[in-house]
Every structure is written in C-alpha cells, then in structure tokens.
Amino acid sequence: MIRLAIRRPVAVAMVYLSLALLGIAAWRNLPLELLPDASFPQLSVSLQWPGASPETMEAQATAPVEAAIQRVRGVERITSTTQEGRAGIQVEFNRDVDMDFVRLELTERLASLEPDLPAGLAHPVVTPYVPREFETEASRPFLEYTFTGPLILEALRLHLEELVVPELLRIDGVRQVVVEGGRRRLLEVELDPEAVGALGLQPGSVMTALRELDLVRAAGAVRSGDAEWAVTIRTRPADIAELRNTLLPGDWGVPIRVDDVAVVRDTFEEPSSYFRINGSPAVSFRVVNARGTNIVRLADRVKERVESLEALHPAGSEMILNLDQSEQIRTQLSDLRNRAGAAAVVIFFVLFGFLRSFRSAAIVFATIAFSILIALNLVYFGGLSLNLLTLMGLALGFGLIVDNSIVVLENIYRRWQGGEAPEVAAAEGAREVVLPILASTATTCIVFLPFLYLQGELRIYYLPLAVVVGLTLVASIFVAFTFIPALAARMLPPVAAVPPTPTSTSLLPTYNRSRPPLYVRFYAGLLEATLRAPWVTVVVAAGCFAGGWWLFTNHVNTQAVWGGGAFPQRSWIQVSVTLPRGADLDRVDHFLRRFEDRAARMPEVDRYVSRVQGTSGSLAVYFPEELEFTAVPLVIEEQLRAFSLGFTGVSIRVVGMGPAFGMGGGGAAPNYRITLLGYNYERLGAIAEDLGARLSRQTRVAEMDTNATAGFGRDRATEFVARIDRAAADRHQVTVAEVSGLLNASLRGGEGAGLLQVGGEAIRYEVKLAGFREADVESLSEQIITTSRGARIPLGDLIQVDERRIPTTIRRENQQYERTVAYEFRGPRRLGDLVRDEAIGATVLPVGYSIQERTPWRISSQEEEQMVLVLLVALGLVFMVTAALFESLRQPAVVLLAVPMALIGVFLIFFYTGASFTREARIGVIMMGGIVVNNAILLVDQVNRTRGRGGLSLVDAVVRGTLDRVRPILMTTATTVLGLLPLVLFTRTADATIWNALTYALIGGLLASTLFVLVTTPSLYLLVERGRERQVVGESGAQEGRVVD
C-alpha cells in the first residue's frame, strides 16, 4: 500500500478529494441532536389519580399495574415510586429485547387492565426511560413556547389547539406538539339533596343514567341475501341540553329528568396549579422532534412558521420562546469550532518548531482535515448522530489523529536528512514504523473493546464515544500510510540541504544540524544520569506515585457522577414558597403574588415566571444576559431574601442558581442514603427505625430521617379515614356501596366522575350533592343524608372519621417494599463511609430482606466494579498486543508500567485544578491506558532495532534508541496535549463542560507519562534486559564448562 501510494500520487489525490467531498456531504446530512438517540432497555409508566393517598394509590393502582407489567416478556426489574395522587414505575428489560415491540405489548396489557382500575385513575402513560444525569435535558423538548395575553387560560389554550398546533404538525420532522396549561372542561351535575331524597334517588343512579347516554355497542347481525352485516347501537348527546333532559330510572308516575333534581353547569375543573409569566396567566406548548432529524434545521422551520402566525393571534397576546435546543447545539458547535481552530494553529506551530520546515508541517497538518472527514463518513454510514457525546469524541480525537502521521513523517524526514532520496526515504521510513504504529494504535483502540460489555447507562452513553474515537484513529492510520508517504515523496527536495556533520558524541542525533538541538543535549545528559542509577530512578517514580495517590484520595472529590451539564448555564433567582399540608392553593398563590409585585418593580429584572401547585409555589427571576455576571443578581438576591423575612407561618427560600452565583463548587458535608428492601412494610419500618437509632448515637450524624423516600423531605402525609360501621348500616338497612356512594358525592374529587362524548368532544363530568365544596371534617359527620328507602340520618351514624399519619412516598422494587434511611454526616467522607459500613454490617435482617447503600449523585458500587473491570480488561488486552509485537513477556511489562506513571499526572491535575473526578474522568483514565503506552512502544521498539543492528553495548543501545525517538515522542505529546487544552481553557469552572474531567485525565496522564517514559522506562528496560543478559551469559558459561569437561 505504501509503495502503491508513492507510485500513484494522482490517484491518491483523487481518492482523498472524493473522501473529502463525501465527508462534507456527511457533515451536512448527519442528524444534529443534544442527546444521543439511543433506545434504553427501560420504560417508564406514569399514573395519575388526583386526591388518592399514597397507600390507596399503591394498593389499587401501582400494585395491579406492576402485576400486569410482570407478565411482559423480557422484564428484568421493576421499581415504583408512589406518592399522593401519582406514581411512577420504572421497567428494566433484557438488553437484547426489541424496545418497540415490548413497548407495544406493555401498552396493550395496560389497556386490557384499564377496566379493572379505579374510575378516577387517568390513563397510564408509557414513556422512554431517561437516566438521572440527563433528566433535565431529556425531559425538555427541543422547542418550548409560552403563550400569554389578556384572555383567560382556557381561551389561550383553545387558540393554540385550533390554530397553532395543526400548523406545526404539518412540518416534516415534528412528531408531537403538547399543550399545557388551562383547565379542562367539566360538566358539573349538582344534585338537590331534598329532591333526590324525596324520590329515593341515589347519586350512583344518576351516574348510570348519564353514562348510558354515551352508548356504542354491538347489537348483533342481520342478513341481506348471502351477506351478513353487523348492527351497532350508537347514541351520543349532541349538546348539554340533551344531558339536562335525560330521563332518570324510576317509577314515579311522571317522568323525572336530570334538570328536575340537579343543576347542570358547563364549567371548568377547579384549578390544581397556576402558571404566569410577568404576572399574566400563560399556557405553554412543547414541540417534540422525530428521531433522526436535524434539530437545528427543524427548529429554524418551526420558528419561521410560528412567526408567520403572529398576525392571527388575539390582540395583546405574546408568544415567548422559552427553550431552544438548537441554540445550545449552535453554541456548542461554535465553541468547538473555535477551540478546534485554536488547537490547529497551535499544532501547526509545534510541528514547525520541531521540524523547522513549513512543507513538513503542512503535510502533517493536512492529515487533520482528512482524518476528520473520513471519520465523519464512517459516523454517517454507521448510523450515528452528532450530539453532545459524539462531538466530544471528535474533539478528543482531534489531538490524537496527528500522532501516527507525525511518527511516519518524522521517520521519513530523519532518513531523508541522512542522505536518502525522497522516494526511498518515504517508502523505507513508512515501512520501518508500520509495526509500532499498528501496535500503538491497536492499544489505543483496543481499550474501547471492553466498552461493549458495559451495562445500562454506561453502555448507552460511552459506547458511541468510544466508537467515534476509534473510527477517527482508524482513519488516521489510513492517512498516515497513504497520504503522508505520497506527499512526502513529492514535496521533499531531492537531497537534504546540509549533509549531516559527525559530532564527537556519535550517539546523539543531529537532525541535519551542525550540533544536536538544545533539548536533545539536555535530555541526553539527564538520560545518562538516570541510567547510571536505574534503581534510584524507579524508586523516585514510585515515591511520586505514592505522593500523588495520597493527595488524590484526600483532597479530590471522587464521588460525583456528572460534571458538565449537571448545573444550569443560565443564572436566575429561585424563590420557593411552601405552606403546611392542607393549605389552599389560593393561599399559596397569595404569597407568591407578593414576590411577583416586588419583582415587577425591579427594572433590572428581565422576566419572572411563577408556578403554583399543591401547597408549594416557585418564582424564577431572570436577568438580561448583559447583567448576568455583574453584581446585580447578587444584590437582587439579597433584597428578595430580606423581603422574605417579613412573612410568618410559611417556609420561604431564596436561592441564586447558576454560574453567576458560583454554583458548581462542593464543600458540603456528604449526604448518605441506606436502602432496605423487604416484603412487609411495617417490619421494614421497624428495621429502619433501629438502624436510624444506632446511627444517631454518632455525634457527627445529623438530620436523621428513617423514611426519606424522596430527597430530604421530612413531611409525612395526613390521611382521614372514613370507617363504615357495618352494624349501623344493617340497622338502617343501608348497603356499604350506598354509604360509599353518598360519602363520595358529599366530597370534592373522588371517583364520582367519568367521560362523556358531547358533540364529538370528550368532556369530563361528575355528580355531587349540593354543598360538597364546603364539606370539611367537622361537618361531615353532622351532614344529613337520605337513603334509598327515604330515611334521613346523620352521616356520622354510619361512619367514623379517624386521622392517621402515612408516608409521603411508597417505593417498591420487584414488588418488594423499599425504605430509605437518610442522614447527613458532618465530617470527612472517609470517616462517614466507615460509620455507614459499620452500621450496615451490624444490621440483622430476616430472610428475604436486603440492605444496600444508595446515595444519589454518587458513583454506585456496581458502576465502580464495571469501571475497574473494563480498565483491567483493557490493560490485559494492551499487554497481549505488546507481547505479540515484541515476542516477549518482559518488555510488555516495561511498556505497561507507563500507565501507573501516567496516573501520577492524573492525580496532580485533579488536585491542582479542583475538578471533580466524575464518571467521565474514569472513562478518560481507561482511554489514557491505551494512549500513554504508545510512547513506550515507540521507545522500546527503537531500542530493540538499535540493538538488532549490533555494534553497541546494552547501555549505548538504550541511549541511542531513546534519543532517536525523543523528537517524535515530544512532538506527539505536544500536539495531543495542545490539541486538548482548548477544550478546558477559558471555561468558567473546572467542571463547566461535559468533557472537562475526561480531558483533564488525558492531559495529566500524557504529560506525566511522557516525562516518566523518557526518564524511567529506559531504566526499567535496562534493569530487565541486563538481568536477562546476565542469565544468558551464565547459561552459556555453564555450557562451555560442560564442553571442556
């Protein structure tokens, strides 16, 4: 291939021109996304039942749905979280299942289960699973708008559904448009207790009569000649008037209609939340893209269509763009382009500084563009997309792709300087380094092979990264052995400009100069000193490793899961308002409006967004971008915090969020969570209480919560239980079902609701007794009800209302209950881990129960085990490759020792930068294990070649071989490190971007490995080979002695 490329330079040029054009086309057609388009082997099922307590929700909704899910093929693990009014179920499948098929099967099973579920339970929603690291990003659409104006929310929503949504759905690439905000339409049937009591009519009878208005049923079949036709009964009300005129079942002598005993109101549901922007009510809609679409181009088309509809909006209304992922992608691409350009300029000058030739530097520099374009072709045909992680792979490969070309060109250049013709130097110089380059690239690529065996989220996110880096390196090999020799043979002059001048030190390369370069002379002196005392050099390296390890383990945060992306890039002030349980929604809204009024009077505030739901609300205060990093946000934060001190009876927190407030640092005491699993919830609670009591004896343990099912919330729910007295019901000749129906009709919410098709629109309706809005716990027992037999009795004679405390959240895993003990340890993390492990070890569990540590946002033990296993397998593969190259088991050990020497740099760079050692850093260490051995391979291979030519002692051969490779080693390290540096320079914090931790690991490892490979590896080689020589000499002497005898 090398000789063919040299003989056919025009053909090589045409091939690369074609690949470049294909690469440009691939770049234009590759899908651009924020996150990888990957199918996780997990699905999420969401359940909604307004007003249901956690225990009721778990018994009547979560448990039956879990049982149905368990019958789906391929299910491995089910976890559920049940809270008041809602539940979330995570379903994990086998890795080899077809996710589209299992999602269809799961949806069908839930649909068949729906008739057996409670009437108030909303339709279960199945969505793809999103890992916790990307929950914020993935839960958001690629475009989100807010529509606000002087109309009521329901009118704003209707306008969006009738005008905007149909227009956006016509755009190719838009999969869904979801409108949120505004209340749903409600038909409220309020019964007159006196009227229904006089007739002996029950609320359930009215519900049945209304339900039968919407009737679609198969009646049978009729024959017409030889054909048979199905007959379907279909009857639906055309308007609300038909509902009011509905006849009620009963024998009263005269027809009784709904309008005679009830007031029917066409209204809206009671508000369960409020959403305002700048004090005006608003609704929002989210645009969801189809898979494989270019988000940047699709966003442009959607925004253009939205702008074209502005003239049709009501007067005074405003469409506000809240979220645009395409801008984030554009920003990242622009940032990457600028950083890549800076790296390219630096790499060019590094090459020129070493080679002292614009031609040679230009040859290597051209390989960057061709390698990237070839890699883009491979990415395109491999079905991948450009996203946060694949772009990171290209950026990381940017500094690596020139390494092979540098080694090839430097060897060609060195031989040409030795007097060979350009064609001969190109052919022989490239052929001479084929094996070491293939071995070094193989060691870099082979460390990615164990990524195939990663499980869960690690596999989904980091396998595409490994594929992109691997494809880039494969492209660099192709360029190094075709493009470089062909171009070098044509661009180098026929003879070297200055013939080499011999020097007094024959072991030093002169690189076509009268004397060796300064850095070579300096290194030669250092090398000779280390080889005189090789054991001292090895001990110093071991001491550096021990010192670095101590600094790393004691001063670096190694428990963080995620670096860049974990914190927002915009800054704002968050005002959180929380009232005690049972507080009215309007009461919460009253407090939040006070803060809205305050923010409205601040001219520095750009906009403020309010959300109220349940007993809590939040106000987000945003600033113009030009004021974001000034003192203004800090001043406003202090003003709002001071304003919050004037309220009592309410919990108010004012927190600055984002980089303008210094977010992203650590320093807080570590939080701990210990999870218990068992089949009996009460027994599990007793074990949790005992564990919490033992931990609380530690003086450093604070904020103990033995039922921390979600975060660090301490509030337990209060539930009022109405117990029906069956004996009293028998005395009054009332059935339990009748009491339950009367109780439900006397209260807000509950199951007294259904859906009715009216005029082609599905409308929710509910049947209640007059006065249900004013019902409270005290008046409930005194309420007079009329039974079906006409008897009027107090409801308190039939029921007893008790108050009890229940957990806010019930979690289950594989149908086992989960109980979490959470606490804060105020002390060093290591001491906290020791206290936790002792408490877990001293806990006695019944058969079938289990206990494990599950602190969120920290590396789990399973992930740690996977990372360690991948690293060990990668190092084993590297050893195999180098052993095959050198036909030795000793020399690969010398090469592999470059990895612990590289870790010294990793330890120190994380210590001095203050960066968190996240999962990306661990991936970087694995990648580094395959990269840092490349220099050692080049060095050992050249020493072996020098020894093979003969004429030199072992020490002289080590010196000469090492000095021959010092320039390519320094060049590859300089270009790689300087190519990576722009990725981390000028970022706001050490953990600002997703690739910071990974890049730090590579930079630190490369710098340290280069230093120690050049200083320590020759000493290790000398020690290994000197012992081998002595053994060979001893064996030969013994043989000679036997011959003499």
What is the total count of domains within the chain? 5
**535-551 pLDDT tens trace:** 898 899 999 999 999 98
- Residue 594 has what pLDDT? 92
Q: Work out the percent of the chain whose per-residue pLDDT is above 70.
A: 84
| Distance, CA of 304 to CA of 772 (rounded, Å) | 49
pLDDT of residue 398 exceeding 70, the answer is no
Q: What is the per-residue pLDDT across 102-133, written as a single tens digit (0 to 9) for each?
A: 888 888 888 888 888 887 788 888 876 655 44
In terms of domains, do 888 and 947 share one?
yes
**Total count of residues recorded for the chain:** 1045
Q: Report which residue type is found at 822.
A: A
Statement: residue 712 has pLDDT above 50: no
Encoded tokens for 680? 């009996």
In a domain, 350, yes or no: no
Backbone phi, then psi, for 697, in 5-degree steps?
A: -70, -20
DSSP strand pairing (671-678 vs 607-613): unpaired
Residue 424 placed within a domain: no
Q: What is the 3-state secondary structure (H, E, C) of 280-342?
A: EEEEEEEEEECCCCCHHHHHHHHHHHHHHCHHHCCCCCEEEEEEEHHHHHHHHHHHHHHHHHH
Higher pLDDT, 1036 or 1022: 1022
β-bridge partners, 701: 825
What is the sign of the dihedral through the CA atoms of 585, 590, 595 and 601? positive
Q: Enter the pTM of the model.
A: 0.63
Look up the CATH number of the domain holding residue 585: 3.30.70.1430
CA proximity to 26, closest of 382, 386, 380: 380
Q: In the predicted model, what is the mean pLDDT of residues 840-846? A: 87
Nearest to 570 by CA among 624, 527, 608, 525: 624
Range scoring the smallest mean pLDDT among 22-36, 67-81, 293-307: 22-36
* One domain for residues 863 and 850: no
Q: Which residues contact 38 (CB under 8 A, 6 or more apart)?
A: 460, 461, 464
Tokens read off for 180? 């949120």
- If you average pLDDT over every residue of the chain, what do you get? 79
Whether residues 536 and 606 share a domain: the answer is no
The answer to whether residue 26 sits within a structural domain is no
Residue 514 has φ and ψ, to the nearest 5°, of -70, -25
- Tens-digit pLDDT profile for residues 1029-1044: 665 545 554 454 444 4
Q: Is residue 79 over pLDDT 80?
A: yes
Q: Which residues contact 285 (CB under 8 A, 6 or more apart)?
A: 144, 145, 147, 160, 164, 165, 177, 178, 179, 180
Q: Which two tokens stand for residue 629?
A: 């990093």
User: Do both 697 and 592 map to the same domain?
Assistant: no
The predicted model gives 34-41 an average pLDDT of 60
CA distance 360 to 779: 93
CB 653 within 8 A of CB 575: yes
Domain CATH for 826: 3.30.70.1440
Look at residues 89, 113, 129 and tell me which one is the last residue of a structural domain.
129
Task: Please tell me the least confidently modeled range out of 97-101, 326-330, 544-548, 1036-1040.
Answer: 1036-1040
- CA–CA gap between residue 274 and residue 610 (Å, rounded): 8
Residue 579 shares a structural domain with residue 634: yes
Residue 243's CATH number: 3.30.2090.10
What is residue 148's three-state secondary structure? strand
More confident residue, 933 or 516: 933
Q: Is residue 333 part of a domain?
A: no
Q: What share of the chain is helix, strand, coil (3-state, %, to 5)?
A: 55, 20, 25
Query: Model confidence at 670, in pLDDT bands (50, 70, 90)?
Result: very low
**CA-CA distance, 398 to 392, in Å (whole number)?**
10
Q: Which of 213-217, 413-417, 702-706, 852-856 has the lowest mean pLDDT?
A: 852-856
My answer on whether 596 and 710 are in the same domain is no
Dihedral-angle region of residue 64 (phi above 0 means left; psi in -120 to 50 means alpha; beta otherwise): alpha
Domain holding 231, by residue range, is: 185-267
Let me know whether 712 and 597 are in one domain.
Answer: no
Q: Is 644 a member of any domain? A: yes
DSSP-derived pairing of the beta strands 799-806 and 717-724: antiparallel
Element counts in the chain: helices (H) and strands (E): 37, 28
Q: Are 213 and 756 in contact (CB under 8 A)?
A: yes
Banded model confidence at residue 904, pLDDT cuts 50, 70, 90: very high
- Centre a 10 Å sphere on the Cβ of residue 401 and count the other Cβ atoms it contains: 28
- Whether 299 has a pLDDT exceeding 80, the answer reads yes
pLDDT for 499 equals 47
Mark whether 48 and 115 lie in a shared domain: yes
Strand partners for 762: 757
pLDDT at 918: 79
Same domain membership, residue 597 and residue 553: no
pLDDT at 345 over 50: yes
683 or 456, greater pLDDT: 683
- Note the pLDDT tens digit of each residue in 564-595: 544 445 678 889 888 876 677 888 899 999 99
pLDDT in tens, 961-1017: 888 888 888 887 887 887 778 777 777 666 666 677 888 888 899 899 888 888 898
Q: Give the pLDDT confidence score for residue 713 in this predicted structure.
A: 44
Strand 651-657 and strand 717-724: the pairing is unpaired
Q: Confirm if 543 and 840 have CB atoms less than 8 A apart.
A: no
* Segment 551-571 mean pLDDT: 65
CA-to-CA distance for 951 and 211, rounded, in angstroms? 102
CB-based burial label for 222 (10 Å; 0-12, 13-18, 19+)? exposed
Please identify, among 800, 821, 854, the residue that sits at the C-terminal boundary of a domain: 854
Q: Is residue 406 part of a domain?
A: no
Specify whether the CB–CB gap between 750 and 164 falls below 8 A.
Answer: no
Asked whether residue 1040 is assigned to any structural domain, the reply reads yes
**Is the same domain home to 1028 and 1008?**
yes
The answer to whether residue 149 sits within a structural domain is no
Confirm if 148 and 282 have CB atoms less than 8 A apart.
yes
Return the closest-CA partner of residue 858 out of 1010, 668, 1040, 603: 668
- Tell me which of 215, 248, 267 is where a domain ends: 267
Asked if pLDDT for residue 20 goes beyond 80, the answer is: yes
**pLDDT band at residue 781 under the 50/70/90 scheme:** confident
Co-location of 831 and 895 in the same domain: no
pLDDT value, residue 913: 86
Q: Is 357 helix (H, G, I), strand (E, B) or coil?
A: coil
Q: Do 526 and 651 belong to one domain?
A: no
Rounded to whole angstroms, how far apart are CA atoms 125 and 139? Answer: 15
The pLDDT value given to residue 662? 53
Range in 215-219, 391-395, 913-917 with the lowest mean pLDDT? 391-395
Query: Can you give the pLDDT at residue 457?
Result: 60
